[in-house]
Amino acid sequence: MSASSDDEHPYVKYGTPLEEIDESETKPSMLKSNVPVFDQIVTDEEGRRRFHGAFTGGFSAGYYNTVGTKEGWKPSTFLSSRSNKSKRKTFQANDFMDDEDRGDFGIAPKTLSTSTDFTSKHKRNAIQEKQLNIQEEKMTLSFGANLLDCLVLPMRNNIGIKMLKSMGWKEGQGLGPHVVRRKKKKKKKSASKMKVYGCRLPGADDPDSDDENIPENFQFAPKDMMPISILHKDDNYGIGYSRLDPTAALHVKEKKSSAVKARTKSGSKLSFYGQAFGVGAYEEEDDDIYAQDSMSNYDSVMSIEKNPDNTYGWTKPLAIAGAGHKEAIGYGDTPKILFVHAKREAKLFPKVYPPPPIPNDFDPYKRMKLQRESKRIKDLNLTTVEPSTVLPPSNENQPRLTSQDREALLEDNKSPAPTKKAQSIFDFISFEDRQRMEAAKRKPVELGFKGDNKIVEQPTMVDRSKPLCDATSLKPFSNNPEKLRRYEQYERAIRQRKKDPYSVIESNLTEWERKHEQHEFARLSQVYLHLSTNISSKFTKASENEDNDSVVQREVTEPAAKMKMFGIMTHDSVEWHPDPLLCKRFNVPDPYPNSESVGVSKPFGGFKILAVMGSSSAAKTPDAGHVASEEDSETKSKTGIVSDTKCPPAFNKSRPFIGGRWDRKPVFAGPMDKPAEKEDEKSEKKEDTQTTQELEEKSPERPPMELFKSIFASSEEDTSSSEEEKEDDDDATSDQNVKTNEQEESEPVIKRASAADVFMRPIPVKENILQQAVNDPTPPKESEPDHEPMEQDEVNEQPDEKNGSDDGYFGPILPPVRPASNGVESVDRGTPPKHDKKQLKHKKKKKHEHKGKKKKKDKHR
C-alpha cells in the first residue's frame, strides 16, 4: 500500500493481480485450433513426442528419442555368468518389450483378442482327433512309435484343402452342396411322435432346439464324414481283429525309434527315452515301461461304440443326396454292416508287374551317330534308286583311291612320275581334243626344255616322299646320280640332326674319297641351307602362288573350263600335309607321319600337263609352242609356266627373319627344281654364267649376302645400266623387252626366274658343281634382258610411290588384284555384292612393297 501504488490504483486490492495479457502474444497460444499441421505434435501418454522426423514418422525410442539409455551406451549391468551360472537369467521376448510393444498397436498387445489357436486355421476338430486316434490304433500297440508324427502337423495345408477353402469350404464341414436341414425336423417329428417315458435324454433335445431357431430354407453345409481308410486285408484273422504284435510285446525296437535324439553343442550325442515329453524323474511313469499287455486292452466283442459322436463314419452312399429316404444317414444303434459277396475275387497281393522286356538290340550306351555310317546304310537301302550310270559303284570298305593316291600311300616314287602321267593324260585325251586344246590356248605354253635335260633325266626330283626342304631340292650332282643319292642321304641325316651325318651313308668309296666328299657335302649343305633360309625369308608364297596358279589358270584351265572340258585340265592335286592333330581329331591316320611341315607343299600330280609335255620330249609341242609364242604376246611364254612349285610350308611356318635390309618382294619362292622350267633360256644361261663367275671369285666361306647383293643388284639395275646391255641383246630378247614393257603382270615372274637361277646355279664349292654349268651345252649369252623391262614396269606402275613414307611393311603379301577378265566379284550373302576390302588392301600392300624396294635400291647404290 504505497503512495505510488495508490496513485496508480486507487482501490485496495487483495491477492496478486493477473498479468495483463498482451494481445499480440496471446493469439497463437489462445487459438490452438490455428496451429498449422506441420506444427502439431503427437505425444504419447507420458508426453514424449511420438513421431519425429520430417517424413518418417519414426516412433520414439530409447532415451529421449535416442538409441542410447540414460547411462549412455554402457549396459546398465554386467553380470558375469561365470560364477553364478545357476542364476543365469533366461530372457524372453517379453523382457525386451516396452509399453508400446504391449499396447494396442504393439507387437504383443495385452488386450484380449482371439488368438490364432482358436481361429479355424489351427483348429483341430473332432474329425482330426478321430483321425489321430485311428492312426494310433493303426500303430497296433506300438507305444511311442511315430507318435511324434501324429503330434507334429504340417504347417501348411495341402493344396486340396486350399482349393476347397477357396471354394467356401470350412474345416469341420462336409463336402458337397449345402442342404436344407429338413431331415432333422422330420426326424424330430418322428421322434416326437414316439412316446417317451421318463426323462429326456439331455443331448437329444439339443439339435431340436437348434433347429427351432433356424429359419426355413436355411441351407447348411453337409456334415463332415470320417474318411474310410480301406485297408487291404492281408491276413486270415477275423474282421477287426488285430493280433498281438510280438515285437511290440517285447518292446525292443520301439524304444529306439521313440528316442528323440539330439546333439549338444559340444558334439556329444543326447537322446531321450521315455513315454513322452514332460515325464519327469519324480512323475509316475507310464505302464508301458514294463510292456505289460493284458487282454483287457483288446476288444473281445465286436460292436460299434455307442458314442453319439459316431455320426461320422460309415454312411451309405445316398446319405447326402437321399432326400426321400427315411434314414439318410445310416447310423444307429444297430449295426448296419451288410456283407456282400465280392464280385471280383480279391487279390491278396497286389499284382506285381514285371519290368518291360529289354529288346535284344538295345544299347544302353549312347554313341555318336556318324555321318558316314548313316550314309552307308542309306546306300545299301537305296540301291534301286542309285543312278548307277553316273555314280560308279563304290566299294564302301575301301577308300576311293586313284592310282596316284595309291602311289602316294606306297611311296612308290621310283617310277618316273612324269612319264606315267603322260600316259595317263594321253590315255584320257584323244588327239582331236588335244588339238582343240591347243587351239583354245591360242598360244600354247612353251614346253620344251632344250638342252636343259638334267631335269628330265631326274625324275626323282619330284620325290614327294622326302621331307620338303628346299635345300634338298637343290640337286648339285645331277650328272652323278650316285653322288646325288649320297648327298640326299646326307641331307636327310642332317635334317634328322644326326651327329655325324656322313656316317649314315654307305658307299664303296675309299677312305680318302669319303673324307673328301664329307668335307664337300658339309660345305655344300651349309651354303645351300644358308641360301635357302635367306632367300626364303625374302619372298612370300602368295605372289608365287598367284603367279603359278594364275598362269596355269589362264593358260590351261580357264579355256578348258570354258569348253566344259572338265577333268584333267581342271583337276589338280597337290600334296597337302594335314596337321597331325587334325588327323587325330578326324580319327584318320596321319598320311605323313614323319613330316615336319604342314599344309600344301610340293605338287606331284598338279601341273601334269606341262610336266608331261616337257618330259614326253620335244616331239610333242615345243616347236609349235615356240612359234606360237613368238606370234602371240611374248610375255605369256615368259611368265608362262615357270614352276608349279608351291612354297614348301617350311617357308611359311618357321621362316627366319633376317634383318630389315632385305626387303621382301613378291618375286620368288620355293625350290626351282621343277621340270617345267619355262624361263627364257637365253637369259637364264646368261645369268648362269654371270653368277658363277662372281661366285668363283669369292671365297666359298664368304656369307652369301654379298652374293645376293650382286644378284639383286644385277636384277634390279635401273634402266640406264641395262640399256648398255640392251645393245648386246639379240633381236628376240629386245622384242621381248618391248612387249614386256606393256605387260605389267609379268614382272614378278621374271624376277623369280632370276632368283631361281641362283638356286639352280652351282655353288662354287667344288668343281663338280661348276662342272655342270660348264657342261651345259647351250652357250651363255651376254645380255640380261629380263630384268630391265621389269624395272621399267615398276616405274610405270608406281609413279607416285615416292610420296609415301616407308613404313617398313613386312609380312605375307597377299595376292595382287585379280585381273578383271576373271570377272569374279566378291559375293555377298543375301545382299548385293560389294567390292571386297581385301582387294583394296592388296593394292595398298603392293605399294608398300614397291616403296620398300625403292629404298633398298638406293641403299645398294
Partner 1 sequence: MFPHNKPSSKEESTDKNDTTKKTLLPEQLVYTIDCKQGAVRAVRYNFDGNYCLTCGNDKTIKLWNPKKQMLIKKYTGHGYDVLDVAGSNDNSQLASCGSDKTVIYWDVGTGQIIRRFRGHAGRINCVEFNEESTVILSGSVDSSVRAWDCRSRKSSPIQILDEAKDSISSLQVTDHEILTSSIDGKVRRYDLRVGTMFSDFIGSAVTSAKFSKDGQCILSSAHDNTLRLLDVTTGEMLGEYTGHKNSKYMIECGLNYKDDHVLSGSEDGLIYIWDLVEGTITKRVAVRPNKVIHSLTLHPEENLMIAACEDKIYFFTDENYEPPDDIG
Residues 592-631 that bind partner 1 (CB under 8 A): 592, 598-600, 605
- Exposure of 770 in the CB half-sphere (CA atoms within 13 A): 14
Q: Does residue 153 touch partner 1 according to CB under 8 A?
A: no
How far apart CA 629 and CA 442 sit, in angstroms, is 9
Q: Does 433 bind partner 1 (CB under 8 A)?
A: no
Show contacts with partner 1 in window 345-374 (CB under 8 A): 366, 368-372, 374
- Residues 56 to 75 in contact with partner 1, rule: CB under 8 A: none
Neighbours of 822 (CB within 10 A): 11
Residues 208-227, interacting with partner 1 (CB under 8 A): none
Query: Which among 142, 136, 135 is positioned nearest to 244, based on CA atoms?
Result: 142
The binder of partner 1 chosen from 100, 171, 245, 386 (CB under 8 A): 386
The C-alpha cell that represents 394 in the structure block: 563304290
Among 445, 461, 524, 568, binds partner 1 (CB under 8 A): 568
Quote the least distance from Cβ 749 to partner 1, whole Å: 16
- Provide the 10 A C-beta neighbour count for residue 554: 18
Name the minimum Å distance from CB 445 to partner 1: 16
**Contacts to partner 1 from residues 811-840, by CB under 8 A:** 815, 818, 822-830, 832-833, 836-838
588-620: b (≥16 Cβ within 10 Å) or e = eeeebeebebbbbbbbbbbbbbbbbbbbbeeeb
Query: Binding of partner 1 at residue 696 (CB under 8 A)?
Result: no
Give residue 546's region: left, alpha or beta (phi > 0; psi -120 to 50).
alpha
Give the C-alpha separation, 719 to 739, whole Å: 15
Closest CA to 751 of 857, 638, 629, 634: 638
Does 589 bind partner 1 (CB under 8 A)? Our answer is yes
736-755 positions binding partner 1, by CB under 8 A = none
Contact (Cβ atoms closer than 8 angstroms) between residue 504 and residue 493: yes
Task: Name the amino acid, one letter, at 703.
Answer: P
d(CA 709, CA 745): 25
Complex with partner 1: residue 180 or 574, whichever CB lies closer: 574
Nearer to partner 1, 164 or 563 (CB): 563
Contact call for residues 688 and 672 (beta carbons, < 8 A): no
Candidate list 3, 37, 338, 390; residue touching partner 1; CB under 8 A = 390
In the complex, least distance from residue 681 CB atom to partner 1, rounded to whole angstroms: 29
Contact between 549 and partner 1 per CB under 8 A: yes
In the complex with partner 1, the residue whose CB is nearer, 448 or 815, is 815
Q: Per CB under 8 A, does 204 bind partner 1?
A: no
Q: Which is nearer to partner 1, 590 or 735 (CB)?
A: 590
- Taking the C-alpha atoms of residue 437 and residue 431, their distance in angstroms, rounded to an integer, is 10
Of 573, 721, 792, 798, the residue at the interface with partner 1 (CB under 8 A) is 573
CA distance 360 to 772: 76
Residues in 17-56 that interact with partner 1 by CB under 8 A: none
394 is an interface residue for partner 1 by CB under 8 A: yes
* Cβ atoms of 787 and 726 closer than 8 Å: no
Under rule CB under 8 A, residue 566 binds partner 1:
yes
**How many chain residues bind partner 1 (CB under 8 A)?**
82
Q: Which of 101, 136, 572, 782 binds partner 1 (CB under 8 A)?
A: 572
Q: Which stretch binds partner 1 (CB under 8 A): 85-93, 339-347, 390-398, 610-618?
A: 390-398
Q: At its nearest, how many Å lie between partner 1 and the CB of residue 265?
A: 43
Q: Does 575 bind partner 1 (CB under 8 A)?
A: yes
**Which of 646, 667, 680, 634 lies closest to 778, judged by CA?**
680
Q: Residue from 379, 630, 632, 735 that binds partner 1 (CB under 8 A)?
A: 379
Dist. CA 713–CA 709, nearest whole Å:
6
**263 by DSSP, 3-state: which?**
strand
Is 585 an interacting residue with respect to partner 1 (CB under 8 A)? yes
Q: Which of 253, 378, 450, 843 binds partner 1 (CB under 8 A)?
A: 378
Provide the β-strand partners of residue 58: 52
CA dist., res. 662 & res. 52, Å (int): 87
Q: Does 382 bind partner 1 (CB under 8 A)?
A: yes
Nearer to partner 1, 251 or 602 (CB): 602
CB of 254 closer than 8 Å to CB of 144: yes
Q: Which residues pair with 271 in a beta bridge?
A: 261
408 is a contact residue toward partner 1 (CB under 8 A): yes
564 binds partner 1 (CB under 8 A): yes
Q: How would you classify residue 497: left for phi > 0, otherwise alpha for psi between -120 and 50, otherwise beta?
A: left
